[in-house]
Structure 1
Amino acid sequence: MTALLDIHLTGADADAALRADARAGLTAAPKYLPPKWFYDARGSVLFEQITELPEYFPTRTERALLERTADAIAITSGADTIVELGSGSSAKTRLLLDAFRRAESLRRYVPQDVSESALREAMAALAADYPGLELHGVVGDFTAHLDRLPSEGHRMVAFLGGTIGNLLPPERAAFLRALRTALRPGEQFLLGTGLVVDPAVLVPAYDDAAGVTAEFNRNVLHVLNRELGADFDVDAFDHEAVWDAGNEWIEMHLVARRAMTVTVAELDLTVQFAAGEEMCTEVSAKFRPSGVRNMLGEAGFRVVGSWADRDERMALTLATAV
């Protein structure tokens, strides 16, 4: 078994990106912050708690869907290398690894994540549980480093969890084009998407009764306070999740309870908030099957398989680069 780790993203890179994103978002009208900054150590723990909440169906629904379809995906794909974008702990990926091993095609797993520590931990666990599997980790950002993915073997790139919905439409199109460019014709892309469902079911998934999602949302302010010397009064912001029917996405906001002035020392920046002002912290787009097919087709992919859960809340789509 071989294990390699490529590092294309360092702590200095992440610090520069946080500074640039914070300056751009806090000086915009309306204000916004990218959702990737939720995920420091505390934010990651909070998100794991969210995935176990009764209201939050996406994670368990996609996992159950993978359990049911992984063998069909493996047989249809025939890839010997699974690449996963935003791999985290690689927990759900084990369902794919097991299925591709049963199909006797699996040789290599390439997890990609922004966190070097998370990758090292996941790879150590995988090395123990999958002897003989080649591991090639990549520390990088899937919006910037797709051209640096290892090119060995016949690859299937997995992008699960509905994460593509966090990208705005122009970002989504750019991501898919870059991914298609990084793949050879005949290689595959497995995409997990949340589907458009009744807002009465969807909104509580992002605004749970226990308030865990609210804490997760406000955590981005703790990150700015710690990393950039900001002085946000974190408790002076309320969490809000709303369904935008026109764009078919959930928006998460932080809403200022009162007028306030915030200083971000490391940016030499002073920011004014009006009472009731909303700052967008996440967009989570939901899709329709026809929209997924069209989106992939425009980027140069041909859909060869698609699966949804019984309630049609989550979908998995397998597409081939043409």
Structure 2
Amino acid sequence: MFRIDRNLTADDLDKALRADVIEGLSVEPKRLPPKWFYDERGSALFEEITGLPEYYPTRAERAILERHSQEIAEAADAVALVELGSGSGVKTRLLLDAMLGHGRLKRFVPVDVSGAFLASSAQRVAQDYPGLDVHAVVGDFEHHLGLLPVNEHEGPQMLAVLGSTIGNQEPDERAGFLRDVHATLDFGDSFLLGVDLVKDPARLVAAYDDAQGVTAEFNRNVLSVINHRLGGDFDPEGFDHVSRWDAEQEWIEMRLRSRTHQHVRVADLDLEVEFFPGEDMRTEISAKFRREGLTKELDTAGFTLTHWWTDPAGDFALCLSTAG
């Protein structure tokens, strides 16, 4: 069975983009949210990034799922899997296979902001798993958690956020998101979270600044999105890609650094912006975690960490918590 709820329209996305660009280009230092990387070209570039030798997170998380998905299925003992930011769902199939093999899974709820992409990937899941109820939801999980079709069936749910997506949020945003996830679940439900771990800064920086320059193109693509969708006249090649490790915050920052003095106009917003030579605009943070700190964050939100799995190199972790 396949069905799809649409809590986010193209008009909603346009309004959100406009608001983010107006706000981000009007503050100092300038910033843009990373979710606007992902038009069709941006998504293709990110898929290319995941296969680069420097970019370990996707391989490491998959290695954990290949080794431990059965343990995850047994520990969660869930009748429904809700995945936020489901994307292509490649890694998710390892979970689905294990949970179906465990014998209790009845329903899969993939959630993503891209309606066309989600519909296509979710329909493929429904075709490949004919006994599974696939209930896709188009929505922004930072705003639409309360609209998710959870707890419709008796039995425990497992909500999953893979790929260290949570690392893109600043600490206050992350705390609010974890509280919202907890409020979405019932007592005893499970929360599966993928997180990238603190490691050698040189490896971290290289993962976000590959030798082939794919990440640089991915970073500059946010300017192309603004040009295409809002009538901007950014020159993407007028900005250098910068990846730096913030040791105090323990996160990677991606920035775009203006090469020259530039005046940019965004016609649809009637907005003019000035960039000075060497001025940085932040486009992404990617926080890295330690077990002790993450345990405290989960505890504050009402979760109890029960399981912790890492890849053989200890680069990445999947942690399972229960809602108290």
Distance in 2 (alpha carbons) for counterparts of 1:201 and 1:253: 18
SS in 1 for 2:3: strand
Instruction: Report SS of the residue matched to 2:62.
Output: helix
* 2:275 maps to which of 273, 276, 291: 273
Equivalent in the alignment of 2:305? 303
1:129 Cα offset (Å): 1.0
Q: What SS class does the counterpart of residue 141 from structure 1 fall into?
A: coil
The answer to whether 1:317 aligns with 2:323 is no
Is the counterpart of residue 38 in structure 1 residue 37 in structure 2?
yes
Alignment-derived partner of residue 3 in structure 1 = 2
Measure the CA separation in 1 of the matches of 2:202 and 2:277: 28
Indicate the residue corresponding to 2:164 in structure 1. 162
Q: What is the Cα deviation at residue 128 of structure 1?
A: 1.7
1:290 aligned residue:
292
Distance 2:276 2:122 in 1: 46
User: Counterpart of 1:47?
Assistant: 46
Output the CA distance in 1 between the equivalents of 2:3 and 2:304.
32
Distance in 2 of aligned mates of 1:237 and 1:224: 14
Partner SS state of residue 31, structure 2: coil
Equivalent residue letter for 1:126: V
Instruction: After the TM superposition, list the runs of 4 or more consecutive aligned residues in structure 1 that deviate by more than 2 angstroms.
Output: none
* Counterpart residue identity of residue 201, structure 1: R
Structure 1, unaligned runs of 5 or more: none
SS in 2 for 1:230: coil
Q: CA deviation at 1:223?
A: 0.3
Gaps of 5+ in 2: none
State whether residues 2 and 123 of structure 2, in contact with CA within 8 Å, keep that contact through their aligned partners in structure 1: no
CA distance, structure 2, for counterparts of residue 89 and residue 200 of structure 1: 29
Match of 1:112 in 2: 111
Aligned to 1:250: 252
Q: How far off its partner does 1:3 sit?
A: 1.4
Alignment of 1:29-178 (within 5 A): 29-151=28-150, 152-153=152-153, 154-178=156-180
Q: Distance in 1 between matches of 2:136 and 2:65?
A: 22
For 1:175, give the aligned amino acid: F
User: Which deviates the most, 60-69 or 151-160?
Assistant: 151-160
Letter in 1 for 2:229: E
Alpha-carbon distance in structure 2 between the residues aligned to 1:36 and 1:164? 12
- Residue by residue, what CA displacement relative to the aligned partner does 1:187-232 show, whole Å, maximum 9, x if unpaired? 1100000000001111100000000000000000000001111100
Alpha-carbon displacement from aligned partner over 1:237-275 (angstroms, at most 9, x marks no partner): 000000000000000000000011000111111100000
SS in 2 for 1:66: helix
Q: 2:193 aligns with which of 169, 176, 191?
A: 191
User: Would you say the 8 A contact 2:80–2:106 is kept in 1?
Assistant: yes
The answer as to 2:227 corresponding to 1:234 is no
Q: In the alignment, residue 89 of structure 1 is paired with which amino acid?
A: S
Q: Which residue of 1 aligns with 2:206?
A: 204
User: Percent identity at matched positions?
Assistant: 56
User: Given residue 30 of structure 1, which amino acid in structure 2 is its aligned partner?
Assistant: P
Number of residue equivalences: 321
Deviations 1:111-135 (A, max 9, x none): 0000111111111211221111000
Aligned-CA RMSD value = 0.7
